[in-house]
């Protein structure tokens, strides 16, 4: 018997391999996770032209990740960008 498997790639590069939902390319867990990630949840970050603005941006991103308003992967990328702007 043949069935489709979830196409989600794990952090280690391996495919999920769980059975995919009917009419979907993802398993139950990754289908819900994907829907959660697609919700639009904005945070407003102003220009990073001063140390105060950078610290404010760090605070906003960390609070958004902790309160689950943005995905941790997106938060990590934003924090990296903010941290590198301190060195300019």
pLDDT over 70 (residue 37): no
Neighbours of 57 (CB within 10 A): 21
The Cα 81–Cα 36 span in angstroms is 23
Q: Is 45 found in the same domain as 81?
A: yes
- When pLDDT is averaged across residues 35-58 and rounded to a whole number, the result is 78
pTM over 0.85: no
Q: Is residue 39 scored above 60 in pLDDT?
A: no
Q: Which domain holds residue 69?
A: 41-85
Number of domains the chain is built from:
2
Tens-place pLDDT, residues 24-36 = 888 888 877 655 5
Q: Is a pLDDT exceeding 90 seen at residue 59?
A: yes
**6, exposed or middle or buried, with CB in 10 Å at 0-12, 13-18, 19+?**
buried
**Other residues' Cβ atoms within 10 Å of the Cβ of residue 68:** 10
- Whether residue 32 is found in the same domain as residue 55: no
Looking at the fold, whether 31 and 49 belong to one and the same domain comes out as no
At 58 the pLDDT is: 92
Query: Same domain for 34 and 49?
Result: no
- Which residues are bridge partners to 15 per DSSP? 9
Same domain, 20 and 34: yes
């Amino acid at each position: 018997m043949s069935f489709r498997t979830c196409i989600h790639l794990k952090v280690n590069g391996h495919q999920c391999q769980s059975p995919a939902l009917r009419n979907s390319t993802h398993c139950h867990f990754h289908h819900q996770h994907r829907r959660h990630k697609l919700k639009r949840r904005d945070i407003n970050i102003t220009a990073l032209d001063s140390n105060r603005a950078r610290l404010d941006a760090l605070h906003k991103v960390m609070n958004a990740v902790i309160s689950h308003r943005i995905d941790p992967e997106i938060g990590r990328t934003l924090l990296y960008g903010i941290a590198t702007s301190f060195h300019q």
